[in-house]
């Protein structure tokens, strides 16, 4: 992929081309992580609020209040379910991002393998 990305860059600009490629890979990775983290946290928070509202509705109808141990166990279970929901949603969004990237590469990347190494071989220093 690196050879394909710097294919059209001249020999004089190959260093800067490679540097820009590496910088953009770092920026893309950072943005991707930020997006997926935000998706996971928001989905988990929404699920936690949804479950919490349902638990409050059910507990209002209970004949006796829950013990402290039951409340602690319920809080932990809600946290685990919310985390699993957020992670699942983030994985789905990540998979969609990968498919979109693959589709864009397929549609717009038109470098043939014969074109990648079109320069004559440089003599080796012995």
DSSP 29-79: HHHHHHHHHHHHHHHHHHHHHHHHHHHHHHHHT-SSPPPHHHHHHHHHHHH
Q: Kindly state whether residue 125 falls inside one of the protein's structural domains.
A: no
Of 23-32, 54-63, 68-77, 107-116, least confident by mean pLDDT is: 107-116
Rg (CA), the chain: 26
Q: Is residue 121 part of a domain?
A: no
CA 122 to CA 126: how far, in whole Å? 12
Give residue 17's pLDDT.
86
For the chain, what is the domain count? 1
The CA distance from 126 to 123, in Å, is 9
Per-residue pLDDT, 8:
76
Asked whether residue 120 is assigned to any structural domain, the reply reads no
Residue 32 lies in a domain: yes
Q: What is the pTM of this model?
A: 0.76
Confidence at 123, pLDDT banded by 50, 70, 90: low
**Domain for residue 80, yes or no?**
yes
pLDDT (tens digit per residue) in 6-24 = 777 787 888 888 899 899 9
The domain of 29 spans 2-114
């Amino acid at each position: 992929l690196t050879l394909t990305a710097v294919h059209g860059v001249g020999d004089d600009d190959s260093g800067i081309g490679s540097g820009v490629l590496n910088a953009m890979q770092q920026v893309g990775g950072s943005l991707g992580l930020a997006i997926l983290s935000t998706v996971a946290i928001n989905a988990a928070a929404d699920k936690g609020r949804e479950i919490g509202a349902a638990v409050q509705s059910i507990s209002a109808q209970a004949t006796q209040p829950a013990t402290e141990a039951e409340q602690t166990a319920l809080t932990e279970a809600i946290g685990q379910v919310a985390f699993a929901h957020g992670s699942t949603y983030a994985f789905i969004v990540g998979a969609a991002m990968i498919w979109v990237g693959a589709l864009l590469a397929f549609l717009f990347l038109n470098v043939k393998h014969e074109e990648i190494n079109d320069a004559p071989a440089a003599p080796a220093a012995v």
